Amino acid sequence: MSPLYENEHIKIEIENSEIPWLKIFTQYPYKEMSEIPSQIRHEIYDLLHIVEKEMIHYYTPTKINIASFGNYVPHVHWHIMARFAEDSYYPEPMWGKKQRESTLKLPSSKIFYTQLIKKLAITAK
């Protein structure tokens, strides 16, 4: 899968899911967040902020979930998920017990990704 966004320090990938779900990785496989140089850590926080705000604005979710893992592959990364009361797992995490069949009717993810890429490109300058 090619990244949605990428620069020398960071890449953003789309997680295939019923909900809007992006993952932010560092290009170098740091095991823990405390290992990441300060400049890159700040860049990650800025990207998390932009993605969260854009998801809120575009999708108007019930909640945004942000999580950081790296248990299976020791490469710390962040998941940003727009959650909805109607998604299959809500209020459980997406890795939890399925609660129902999804009844989500979301706006175009293609339009969202196009708008987000433009926003990230402007911010990166």
pLDDT, residue 71, reads 78
- Average pLDDT of span 15-29: 96
What kind and span of H or E run contains 24? Answer: strand 21-26
State the Cα–Cα distance between residues 83 and 49, nearest whole angstrom.
16
Please tell me what DSSP assigns to residue 86: T
3-state class (DSSP) for residue 96: coil
Please tell me what DSSP assigns to residue 97: -
Asked if residues 83 and 19 have their Cβ atoms less than 8 Å apart, the reply is yes
Read off the pLDDT band of 69 (50, 70, 90): confident
- Average pLDDT of span 6-31: 96
Closest CA relative to residue 94, chosen from 23, 6, 2 = 23
Q: Express each pLDDT in 90-117 by its tens digit.
A: 999 999 999 999 989 999 999 999 999 9
Q: Which domains does the chain have, with CATH numbers?
A: 5-124 (3.30.428.10)
The reported pTM is 0.94
pLDDT, residue 1, reads 66
